[in-house]
Structure 1
Amino acid sequence: MHDVTFTLGQSEVVALVGGNGAGKSTLLEHLNATLVPDDGRLVVGGVEIDDSNREVARREVGFVFQDGDTQLVAPTVIDDVAFGPQNYGASPETARERGREALAAVDGADLVERVPHYLSGGEKRLVGLAGVLALDPSVVVLDEPLAGLDPERSRLVADRIERVHREGRSVVVSTHDLAFAAEIADRVVVMHDGDVIGTGTPREVFYDDDLLARANLHPPAAVRVAREVGLDARPVTETALVDALADRGVTAGARLDGSEH
């Protein structure tokens, strides 16, 4: 990465998009001080982070890795989710209680005594998210949370991410799924070759052909369909597309019977 400026506001959802090798994961790993910049500044909650105070970033910014197996290491799910609070000083009983609450928050209460190794990909993502929530961070960062999941598990994980946001946390998600980004993001940040090359609302970014072409990205299906049928509303999600098509259908019908012009 070079010359990257990235900010995240309170209770904001940011989707980080770009092709393979664009720098998305590298940027994410700076947000909780897994990496500290050689040049430049990382500031979390008003505190500048360096090698001496990385724990500040790690407590404020929870990181859910793409590969759940790198994050889940304990013999049972509850042991894994409770590890973070216990590591930061909570008693074993308190840590396990916080772990159970975090699992319940992602509808994973039935996973408490399961062995992480035998969980499905979607279940591992939810347990990883619960492990982060048990520490009560102000920011949750997820690296490709839907990668490798079937549609049902993808929807489940996406719903839990939206719930985390509704609870007042800021969320950063890197994703190749631009339809998912359009659904959840307040703001989209586009990366290419280690640079942030554009940022804006989903509507601003996904209707910017030049920006998407520079990043080797294609717009979501809803955008492509809207353009093909000539919609002016610029929908970016499937729901908005359906609504726009329905509105246009009603208007066209009204004009046919002469009741509106």
Structure 2
Amino acid sequence: MSRDDPPLVDLQCEAHTYPDGTVGMHDVEFSIYPNEVVALIGGNGAGKSTLLEHLNATLVPDDGELLVDGTPITEDNKAHARKEVGFVFQDADTQLVAPTVLDDVLFGLQNYGVPGDEARARAREALATVDASHLEDRIPHYLSGGEKRLVGLAGVLVLEPSVVVLDEPLAGLDPERSRLVADRIAQIHEEGISVVLSTHDLEFAAEVADRVCVMVDGNVAGSGTPREVFYDGALLAKANLHPPAPVRVAREAGLDARAQPVTEADLVALLERPNPASIPADGS
């Protein structure tokens, strides 16, 4: 991740109000930079999904602007935003539209006029990327929740976006499927694609994110590295959130606050040191 590069996506949203008058978001400034993973956390109704849906112009601000690769997005060029910013919805069924998995992954390419043989090769490559090649002849709606999430992710990756957005990617998945999806997210990040996701699983956020943004009442109340956010008790309290288990364990065990473990691996490494109560933040 480098803040020296210009943002891939830059959203300025003074307000977004739904037709029923509900204020979904206000006074939000949110950017995505190359090669980073950003996690949005917050309670139900905090505005996480609303913010995510603005990133590829699924929703547009009542007052504000979306820039993708420096290009202002208007009604005339929303396709640019949707190609560069791929969106995987929480309800995978909303984006599974074709009779087979392979046809579904092909769908976006066909909309962009990619020739048949090339489209089929790219679709198979995208399925292989998420370890779902064995599903290509299956009927999408008969897949498990985790399989649907992977197929939705393949359907986004096939368009070669610079950013992938996932709304609650682990929602409703058992631990095995959650780990599979989490591994695929880590893999696409390693391949140079920036990732933005919302989650209620703070242990997952601590494990995968370079930056964590806390949303409260339709606004970003604070952001920072996982350590900065998960050791900010006042910020978490404002969002009615509890820190991840390793943070709570470290505090209850009276470990040196400077070490600040945020993941299970951090905590184990700290406890394996000869005198964990005196380990400084840099682990030296």
> TM bucket by the smaller chain?
over 0.9
- Identify the residue that residue 3 of structure 2 maps to in structure 1: none
- Identify the residue that residue 76 of structure 1 maps to in structure 2: 100
Question: Where do 1:97-136 residues align within 5 Å?
Answer: 97-136=121-160
Distance 2:75 2:61 in 1: 10
Q: Give the TM-score normalised by structure 1.
A: 0.94
Question: Where do 1:181-220 residues align within 5 Å?
Answer: 181-220=205-244
Residue 59 in structure 1 maps to residue 83 in structure 2: yes
Task: Mark the runs of 5 or more structure 2 residues left unpaired by the alignment.
Answer: 1-24, 277-284
The alpha carbon displacement at 1:102 in A equals 0.2
The alpha carbon displacement at 1:109 in A equals 0.6
> SS in structure 2 opposite 1:7?
strand
- Identify the residue that residue 10 of structure 1 maps to in structure 2: 34
Q: After the TM superposition, which parts of structure 1 deviate over 2 Å for at least 4 consecutive aligned residues?
A: none
Give 1 or 2 for the bigger CA radius of gyration.
Answer: 1
Distance 2:94 2:53 in 1: 14
Residue 246 in structure 1 maps to residue 272 in structure 2: yes
The alpha carbon displacement at 1:48 in A equals 0.8
The alpha carbon displacement at 1:92 in A equals 2.0
The alpha carbon displacement at 1:41 in A equals 1.1
Task: Mark the runs of 5 or more structure 1 residues left unpaired by the alignment.
Answer: 253-261
The alpha carbon displacement at 1:94 in A equals 1.5
Distance 1:173 1:78 in 2: 25
One-letter code of the match for 1:107? D
Deviations 1:5-52 (A, max 9, x none): 101110111000000000000000000010111101111110011212
The alpha carbon displacement at 1:192 in A equals 0.7
One-letter code of the match for 1:186? D
> SS in structure 2 opposite 1:80?
helix
RMSD (Å) for aligned C-alpha atoms: 0.8
Work out whether residues 36 and 50 of structure 1, in 8 Å CA contact, stay in contact via their aligned partners in 2. no
- Identify the residue that residue 173 of structure 1 maps to in structure 2: 197
Deviations 1:56-103 (A, max 9, x none): 101100000000110111000000001111110101221111110000
- Identify the residue that residue 4 of structure 2 maps to in structure 1: none
> SS in structure 2 opposite 1:122?
helix
Distance 2:114 2:89 in 1: 24
Residue 28 in structure 1 maps to residue 85 in structure 2: no
Higher helix share: 1
> SS in structure 2 opposite 1:171?
strand
Query: Structure 1 residue aligned with 2:110, among 77, 86, 106?
Result: 86
Q: Higher RCO, 1 or 2 (CA under 8 Å, sep at least 6)?
A: 1
- Identify the residue that residue 95 of structure 1 maps to in structure 2: 119
- Identify the residue that residue 8 of structure 2 maps to in structure 1: none
Deviations 1:138-157 (A, max 9, x none): 00000000000000100000
Q: Give the TM-score normalised by structure 2.
A: 0.87
Distance 1:228 1:148 in 2: 30
One-letter code of the match for 1:190? V
Deviations 1:166-224 (A, max 9, x none): 00011001000000000000000000110110000000000111000100111000110
- Identify the residue that residue 260 of structure 2 maps to in structure 1: 234
Identity rate, percent: 73
> SS in structure 2 opposite 1:137?
coil
Distance 1:47 1:93 in 2: 31
One-letter code of the match for 2:214? V
Aligned length: 250
One-letter code of the match for 1:42? L
- Identify the residue that residue 225 of structure 1 maps to in structure 2: 249
Distance 2:112 2:60 in 1: 21
The alpha carbon displacement at 1:243 in A equals 0.5
